[in-house]
Chain A
Amino acid sequence: MITVLQDNLGALWQGVLTTLAITALAFLSSVLLGTLVAVFRVSPIPPLRLVGAVYVEIFRNIPLLALLILVAYGLPEVGISLSLFTTAVLSLALVSAAFACETVRAGINGVPVGQAEAARALGLTFTQSLARVILPQALRTMVQPLVNIFIGVALGSSLAAAVSVGELTYQAQQVGNRTAEAMLLFGISALVYVVIALLGGGLGSVLERRLAVRR
């Protein structure tokens, strides 16, 4: 049991690192892309609103596995071949951005109308009132949902194993297959995921306390 671990520590560690890399990259890009789509959705320009709405409805409703398979095996037939790592990050980011967009939008909607009215009455421009008044307040209500998205990205990254990306779930399955210690390896991987989720949740709570209004 111990020797199995010693022999395969490299592969498992590689899996953990890949999972962390996919999660971090996909989460950051999904927040950026999600904010952009949210801006589209709240803008007064109809075509942009339409694009935002269509984007959200497609990527919120497509199963991640379907998108992964499309990107991994479908796109090469159209002449776009991406590396497996890029496939995983791209698919996860596209799907999570739809959820991030709705989070940002709900956050903006959650700010009382009076705040924006007051900002305008003070003569702040649209950008100023968005950046100085609306978004800082929206951010507070967004922390918890964003943490949920982060955890969703971390757990979702395991689906990349189904298209042979060498992340944690994939490595655990491969090593478990070779060594007949499957239970142990799945147990360890589950523990890693739980730790990632707990760390994400903990960081969220700290952030929430930092952002809270002190009265």
Chain B
Amino acid sequence: MVNTTRVLFDEPGPRARRRIALATVVAAVVVLAVLFWAYRGLDASGQLALARWKPFWQQWAVAFLLQGLWGTLLVTLASALVAFPAGTLLAVGRAGRRRPLRWVCTAYIEVFRSVPTLLLVYVFLFALPGVGLNLSIFWKLTVPIILINSAVIAEIVRAGIKALDRGQTEAALALGMTTGATVRRVVLPQAVRLVIPTLVTQLVALLKDSTLGYVVSYPELMKQANNLANNTKLLFQAFVVVSAIYIVINFALTRLATWLETRIRQRTGARPGGAPVAGGPVATAVDPVHDLPTTVAPH
């Protein structure tokens, strides 16, 4: 925040401070008015009545939601455990020098990066059982998530590999290390460290993808919310509650990513091609890591 302010304007003088104070009051009034208007609208529809929210505090409803949360975590963890190593392998394959392998990895990454997860879920749900591949519901949800996110993670790791100074590889090779050892012991440890924040952000994407359990009827949070809505006839409330749960979890993960980013920046000190970082995440224009797709997938 402080940085943004410093880029755009000087320390305000007395006149500017008066104007800012006036604008603050006006903005606060407008914001409060809008909030009040929204509250009135909600209240008039009767959706804010306490009786419509109370059911979600009852033990059975909480247990129901916890079960959903467990399902969500299970899908997210299973996808992460497979997609992260698979993505790393794909990235190494694409960055490597062996031609056929590079082509295969590139093709895989480019195709699966550009296909919607839901479409792939439909393939496992409606098309593949016809040709004899009928997975359990859990895998019908998790395999598409893995297939697509491996490609996305591969691009993230590859960006880390590209951001790494070439001297690292050259030095390792000059020391007589084999190509494999260079990749495993010099390139990957540093490259992955560079992109850890982005990878944490990708966990958020995985978690969001798990909401597709709603489509395949796997009892994760979203599906459980739907069941809860059907049982209680409180659809609006049920989905507001689970949305809030998702926002809290994802917010925590996003914060973790930001924290890691600051920490990594501080520990590595000078960025390649940039000035030493003083006090916080100032993005330099030529910072390759900062331009990583931290925010690739809005869905």
Contact = CB atoms under 8 A, between A and B. Distances in A.
Contacts of B7: 42, 108-109, 111, 113, 116, 134
B50 to A, nearest CB: 16
B4 interface: yes
A89 B16 CA distance: 39
B118 A152 contact: no
Q: Which of A92, A189, A196 has the most CB of B within 10 A?
A: A189
A180 interface: yes
Contacts of A151: 114
Given A45-B27, A77-B236, A99-B295, A158 B116 contact: yes
Interface residues of A, number: 80
A51 interface: yes
A173 B235 CA distance: 26
Interface residues of B, number: 71
B283 A109 contact: yes
B175 interface: no
A46 B16 CA distance: 14
A61 B45 contact: no
B45 A162 contact: no
Nearest to A184: B127
Interface string A148-188: 11011101111101100000010011001100101100100
Given A64-B298, A177-B126, A186-B122, A110 B283 contact: yes
B42 A78 contact: yes
Nearest to A116: B7
Contacts of A176: 122, 126-127
Nearest to B284: A110
B222 A63 contact: yes
B297 to A, nearest CB: 5
Contacts of A105: 4
Given A44-B20, A152-B298, A169 B208 contact: no
Given A47-B27, A74-B239, A141-B291, A41 B122 contact: no
A144 interface: yes
B28 interface: yes
B293 interface: yes
A21 interface: no
A44 B17 CA distance: 10
A48 interface: yes
A98 B27 CA distance: 21
A161 B117 CA distance: 12
A42 B8 CA distance: 8
Given A109-B7, A141-B285, A148-B293, A66 B118 contact: no
A121 to B, nearest CB: 10
Interface in B106-122: 110-111, 113-120, 122
A25 interface: no
Interface stretch (B87-95, B160-168, B209-217, B264-272): B209-217
A31 interface: no
A69 interface: yes
B186 interface: no
B118 A159 contact: yes
Interface stretch (B56-64, B177-185, B188-196, B247-255): B247-255
Given A66-B246, A186-B122, A61 B204 contact: yes
B247 A169 contact: no
A152 B299 contact: yes
Interface string B3-35: 111111110100000001001100110010000
A193 B116 contact: yes
Contact of A60 (B131, B207, B254, B287): B254
Top 6 closest A-B pairs, CB basis?
A: A158-B116, A197-B114, A61-B250, A156-B299, A182-B127, A63-B208
Given A108-B4, A162-B215, A194-B111, 8 more contacts: A63-B211, A70-B236, A70-B243, A102-B295, A108-B7, A162-B212, A182-B122, A193-B119
16 contacts: A42-B8, A45-B20, A45-B23, A46-B24, A61-B251, A65-B211, A70-B239, A74-B240, A108-B4, A109-B4, A110-B283, A116-B7, A137-B285, A156-B116, A183-B128, A186-B126
Interface of B: 1, 3-10, 12, 20, 23-24, 27-28, 31, 41-42, 44-45, 47, 110-111, 113-120, 122-123, 126-128, 130-131, 204, 207-208, 211-212, 214-215, 222, 226, 235-236, 239-240, 242-243, 246-247, 250-251, 254, 282-285, 287, 290-291, 293, 295-299
